[in-house]
Structure 1
Amino acid sequence: MDNHNHEEVGGNRFFWVTVLNVVITIAEFVGGILSGSLSLISDAFHNLGDSFSIVFSYVASRISKRRQNARNTFGYKRAEIITAFLNAIALGLICVFLMIEAIKRISNPQPIDGNLMLAIAVIGLVANLLSAYLLNAGSKSNLNMRATYLHIMSDALSSIAIIVGGVLIDLYNWTLVDPIVTILVALYIIYEAVPIVRQTARILMQGAPNIDYEAIKHDLLQIDGVFSVHHVHAWSIDENNIIFSAHVNMHDMKISEAEPIYLEITKVLKNKYHVCHVTIQAETTRGEDEDIIYDRGNDIP
């Protein structure tokens, strides 16, 4: 299947998964209000967030494929990072609100229609399983679809928890189960969202990727013609693309003689450390005694 057909199939699947999520969201909002179930409403917010996340992720994915230009010389790959960051923050804030409401309900229980709560939760489970089926094939070859597939499966687990709560309320009238399930689902969503916020914030703040700089220095010093490496900067465009720059001390030589050394440095960084873009500043003696990471009291000299 060529790229155009693959994107078309992926787009169709994302569309139908979005439709199913919207149906689940509406059903759970209406069912939660009619039954008095806060856990259904909390899962409705979760699914609403998923719907926006799927749409924004697909749009951001399309934007990220645009080529770099004079306005964005590194391209548009961070469109997906910004979207993931905003989605995770929004979900976290919603969960905090829902937990506050759940705590209020623990001290002041409300009557709940367990049968209606159970029926809506079953509908949500079926729709989530159908969404997972639609994304399953594409998840084997597309990371974006795989991430969405795993998220949908976590939604199915939330539906199962609400089903258990509905059964307990229906059989034993344990209305406290509803706010407890709400808190558990909210905590689970926050548990999923926090690492996303942490990782995306680090990328947006130009944080250094997790690579071994001393090992890089050791490997570059093995290259004939390199006798010092310092003033290294590394950052990520997204979770897969690392940018690397360094000052490299070399013997005084012609540019044509330095070119093979540049190529060897680039080869080591790309093949061993998965760096996608390398910038080298050649020097003879300047900075040869400096540390690999620049530290002279200011961020960028």
Structure 2
Amino acid sequence: MSQNHHHHHSHHHISGKNIGITILLNIFITIAQMIGGVLSGSVALLTDALHNFSDVISLLLSYFTNRLAKRKSTLKQTYGYKRAEILSAFINSATLIFIAIYLIIEAIDRIYHPQVVLSDLVIYFALGSIIINFISVLLLSKDAKENMNMKSAYLHLLTDVMTSIAVMIGGILMKYYEIYWMDSLLSILIALYLIYSSYQILWASTKILMQFTPEEVDVKKISEEIKSLPKIKNVHHVHFWQLNDKQLFFEAHIDMEEDIRITEFQIILNEVEEVLKKYKISHCNIQPEFQRCESSALVVEE
């Protein structure tokens, strides 16, 4: 016999209108920067266009996976599609790291092989990218605070603003001082920041996908607190995991000190649930036992 319990959580509603506007803005600036890069001969603009294109992909993934996550559970998808957003956050952050590495390689190549470019075009197109991406950042700032997936997309846009600023500074330095290597240096620094910020989301989403115990959870402390409740002899076969960045799950076997009725266990279960509520655990699955299981270890190899 096992008992399970849910605390219902409302899913954060992402503004489809804001995402739609942001996607259109980024498609426009991607095409514009590609044209500007070809006309000016600027590799920096072409690289920034690639970064903007990754923003479009990121936003599309974020929007559709958020819609998927709202679908109801079925017999074949008992958890629904709630993991879709975490998978998207993983893909987005991993993609951003690869793009950042590509930016570094391109920047180093430009240091050794500087090219004369039409700096005026670089400045104008970079400035346009800064304005459009800054508007996009403002549109998504609210959703980014509530949702890991949207935070990943938000970071894409924020770092693209910074990249465009670097491109514009490089254009100004090329125009007035002919300091061509500064553009490459700024690109490398921004790419390193991209890797740092994206790695945090990549690692957080990886831990959820791998069902690692969340860092804020003290397994021993929670288990000991449950064990201290009346009529509970031991807690073992414990598992903690996250379904997404909001919902924390717990399951365990609980040894009872005596053979009790189901109605008595319901009272004990309510007490266990009160303990778990303090740790923001939204779902628990408890298996009561009496003189049944040989292993009393907290974590048991299945």
Query: Please, what TM-score do these two structures have when normalized by structure 2?
Result: 0.87
State the Cα distance separating 1:178 from its structure 2 match: 2.5
Contact persistence 1:53–1:87 (CA under 8 A): yes
**CA RMSD of the aligned region, Å?**
2.4
* Whole-angstrom CA distance in 1 between matches of 2:190 and 2:177: 21
1:209 to 1:221, Cα distance in 2 relative to 1, 3 A: same
Of 255, 269, 272, the residue aligned with 2:262 is 255
**Displacement of 1:68:** 1.1
Corresponding letter in the other structure for 1:223:
L
The match for 2:290 among 272, 278, 284 is: 284
Is the CA contact 1:249–1:288 (under 8 Å) kept in the aligned structure 2? Answer: no
Cα deviation digits, residues 117-151 of structure 1 (max 9, x gap): 11111001111222234345x54985479735565
Give yes or no for the alignment of 1:152 onto 2:151. Answer: no
SS of the counterpart of 1:170?
Answer: helix
Amino acid in the other structure paired with 1:234: F
Match of 2:125 among 115, 120, 126: 120
Which one scores higher on RCO, CA 8 angstroms, separation ≥ 6?
Answer: 2
* 1:198 partner letter: W
Taking the TM superposition and a 5 Å limit, the aligned residue runs for 1:1-301 are 10-135=15-140, 138-139=142-143, 143=147, 147=151, 148-149=153-154, 151-210=156-215, 211-250=217-256, 251-269=258-276, 271-287=277-293, 290-294=296-300, 299-300=301-302
Query: CA contact under 8 A between 2:96 and 2:156: conserved in structure 1?
Result: no
> CA, structure 1 residues 204+289, in 2 after alignment: closer, same or farther (shift >3 Å)?
closer
User: CA separation in 2, counterparts of 1:140 and 1:99?
Assistant: 27
Give the drift of 1:57.
0.4
Contact in 1 for aligned 2:255/2:289 (Cα 8 Å): yes
Moved more, 149-158 or 9-18: 149-158
| CA distance in structure 2 between the aligned counterparts of 1:77 and 1:156, rounded to whole angstroms | 30
Alpha-carbon distance in structure 1 between the residues aligned to 2:155 and 2:60? 16
Question: For residue 124 of structure 2, what is the amino acid of its counterpart?
Answer: A
Bigger mean CA offset, 284-293 vs 227-236: 284-293
Cα deviations across residues 21-69 of structure 1 (Å, max 9, x unaligned)? 1112112222223323333222222221111111110110010011111
Q: 2:293 and 2:104 mapped to 1: Cα distance?
A: 55
CA distance in 2, matches of 1:64, 1:168: 47
How far apart, in 2, do the equivalents of 1:79 and 1:288 lie?
38
Partner amino acid, structure 1, of 2:266: E
CA distance in 1, matches of 2:241, 2:150: 25
Could you say what secondary structure the match of 2:254 adopts?
A: strand
AA partner of residue 287 (structure 2): Q
Indicate if the aligned counterparts of 1:42 and 1:95 stay in contact, CA closer than 8 A. no
Which blocks of at least 5 consecutive residues in structure 1 are unaligned?
Answer: none
Q: Is the 8 A contact 2:148 2:245 kept in 1?
A: no
What's the CA shift for 1:199? Answer: 1.5
Distance of 2:113 and 2:195 partners within structure 1? 25
Shifted more, 101-110 versus 12-21: the winner is 101-110
Partner SS for 2:235: strand
Q: 1:218 to 1:62 in 2, by over 3 A?
A: same
Matched-pair contact (CA < 8 Å) for 1:232–1:245 = yes
CA distance in 1, matches of 2:224, 2:129: 55
CA distance in 1, matches of 2:82, 2:232: 33
Check whether the contact 2:88–2:149 (CA below 8 A) recurs between aligned residues.
no
